[in-house]
Every structure is written in structure tokens, then in C-alpha cells.
Amino acid sequence: MLTIAMPKGRIFEEAVELLRQADYQLPPEFTESRKLVIEVAEEQMRFILAKPMDVVTYVEHGVADLGIAGKDVLMEEERDVYELLDLQISRCHLAVAGLPGAKMNEIAPRVATKYPNVASTYFREQGEQVEIIRLNGSIELAPLIGLADRIVDIVSTGRTLKENGLVELERIAEVTSRLIVNPASYRLNGGAIERLVDRLAAVIPER
């Protein structure tokens, strides 16, 4: 039985739809379940539902053979996992945003984000020295209350930025969800994992 860790929410729903397109027989009530571990005996699969950042941890430590994680999560932390396939779901991008017309503080520029490694790398590559302030939620609040000059966050439709009076200033990277695997699981269950990859890859171009 292959164990697959998946994030709750939009990625989970789109991943389930992709698996169904690949002809995996998942029960109709699958997306409505409140369980954190769901077994589908007919397909020899077990699913673990977790927070996005935790999916990679479960795969890295081998409690899940495979996982579905956003490229943003993989960019933020170096982990001992292999990236097998771009699933081309949950498309969005990482961006720098701020108040329209607002300048960066010349003496002590500050950037708020839940992606400190991505943000520090990006600004370093631009030749800018900034202080990174790590936040876990409501990143858009930071420029509004004077905590930071800029934010680095995931942008999908841009609606949240607009509703909070912010504008996108620079695009850092495109983000989609990826299928990742634990290296040891790949060696032990390579055949089953490759069959899964082949079936998913066959339906991705149709999307």
C-alpha cells in the first residue's frame, strides 16, 4: 500500500480530481471526509491529510512514500526528497507586494513573509540588504501597520492584495504542485511509484 501525504484545501481537491482522471477509483465522499488518514483498499493507497509545510516532513521521514507539495514549499526548505512530476495544479506565483508608490526604507528596509529563505535569497540576488520578518499569517497586514515596507507571499488571483490596498511589484517564481517521493521508498517501491507517475503524466497534458 502506497501512503501519500496531501495538503488540505484547494490542492487536495485538485489532486483528487487528477487521480480520478487517471482512473483511480476514489469514493465519492472522499473529499468530504474529516478524517486525517483515509485508506482506499481497492487501490492499495493510504492518504494522510496535513498542513502544506508538514507534507514534505512526512515524506522526508518516510511515514509517507509520496507527497503533493507546492513548489513554494520546496523552494523554502532544502529537504531530502525527490521531485518526480509537475502536476500543473493549484497554479499561482510568489511575488513581492507593497503599498502603491511606497518607497523602501533606505536605512532599514524590512520585508515580511512566511517564506524567509525565498525572500532573503531573492533580495540578495537583487543586491539589496533587507531585514526579513517572519510571519505565519495575514502577511498583507504588515505594510498597512508599518511593520514592513514589502511582503513576499503567494498570489493566486490578486484579490486579497487588492482588498487590502496593496499592489504586486515583482514576480519571483511560478508555483504549481509537485509529486515528491521519499528516496528510500523510491528504491523499495519503484515499480508501483513509476506506474502512478505514468498514469498521472498521461492525463496532465489534457488539463
Supply the CATH number for residue 124's domain.
3.40.190.10
Are 8 and 82 in a shared domain?
Answer: yes
CB distance 84 to 31 below 8 Å: no
8 in the same domain as 86: yes
For residues 81 and 110, state if they share a domain. no
Together in a domain, 101 and 124? yes
Joined together, the cell numbers standing for residue 148 give 514592513
> How many domains, the chain?
2
- Using DSSP bridges, classify how beta strands 150-155 and 37-40 pair: parallel, antiparallel or unpaired: unpaired
Residues 12 and 71 in one domain: yes
pLDDT, one tens digit for every residue, the chain (207 residues): 999 999 988 899 999 999 999 999 988 777 777 889 989 999 999 999 999 889 999 999 999 999 999 999 999 988 999 999 999 999 999 999 999 999 999 999 999 999 999 999 999 999 999 999 999 989 999 999 999 999 999 999 999 999 999 999 999 999 999 999 999 999 999 999 999 999 999 999 755
- The answer on 113 and 82 residing in a single domain is no
Which residue segment(s) compose the domain that 159 sits in? 92-174
Counting DSSP H helices and E strands in the chain, the numbers are 8, 11
Q: Is the pTM of this model over 0.85?
A: yes
Residues 117, 63, 88: CA angle, nearest 5 degrees? 55
109 shares its domain with 82: no
Quote the pLDDT of residue 63: 97
The dihedral built from the CA positions of residue 156, 160, 162 and 164, taken in this order, carries a sign that is negative
Specify the pLDDT at position 34.
80
Domain co-membership, 76 together with 131:
no
CA 51/CA 36 separation, integer angstroms: 11
Residues 64, 19 share a domain: yes
Same domain, 100 and 167: yes
Q: β-pairing, 45-50 with 2-7?
A: parallel
Does 154 lie in the same domain as 127? yes
Residues 106 and 181 in one domain: no
